[in-house]
């Protein structure tokens, strides 16, 4: 059974976790249109991208997600958690990219 973002918003949650199959910008638009513009979103990077790289793709997708999130209401992480075979340098690069991202740009 698949539950809609709009149904989750009706629950009174402050934050909804989404995975990499849901476009963050679309989720924000849908929630705003449903009357829930202040609900935060969590997640969205595909764990396989983090595991498989290449580094350029990891950085590109990370920045794309952060840009879509804007400067409010987003917790950056992975759609389904980190996989055990993810190279540590890739994970470190992801964390550094999130910390270094300039939300004012």
pTM of the predicted structure, to 2 decimals: 0.86
- Residue 1: per-residue pLDDT: 58
Instruction: Name the residue range of residue 86's domain.
Output: 5-100
Quote the number of domains for the chain: 1
Say if 87 falls within a structural domain.
yes
Are 80 and 22 contacting, i.e. CB atoms less than 8 angstroms apart?
no
**Listed range (1-5, 6-10, 50-54, 98-102) with the worst mean pLDDT:** 1-5
Say if 63 falls within a structural domain.
yes
Question: Cis omega before residue 19 (within 30°)?
Answer: no
Tokens of 49: 């991208």
Q: Which of 9, 3, 20 is nearest to 73 (CA)?
A: 9
Say if 105 falls within a structural domain.
no
Per residue in 23-55, pLDDT (tens digit) is 999 999 999 999 999 899 998 899 999 999 999
């Amino acid at each position: 059974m698949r539950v809609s973002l709009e149904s989750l918003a009706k629950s009174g949650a402050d934050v909804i976790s989404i995975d990499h199959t849901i476009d963050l910008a679309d989720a924000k638009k849908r929630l705003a249109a449903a009357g829930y513009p202040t609900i935060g979103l969590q997640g969205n990077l595909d764990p396989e991208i983090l595991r498989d790289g290449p580094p350029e793709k990891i950085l590109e997708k990370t920045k794309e997600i952060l840009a879509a999130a804007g400067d409010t209401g987003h917790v950056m992480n992975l759609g389904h958690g980190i996989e055990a075979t993810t190279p540590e340098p890739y994970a470190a690069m992801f964390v550094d990219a999130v910390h270094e991202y300039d939300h004012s740009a």
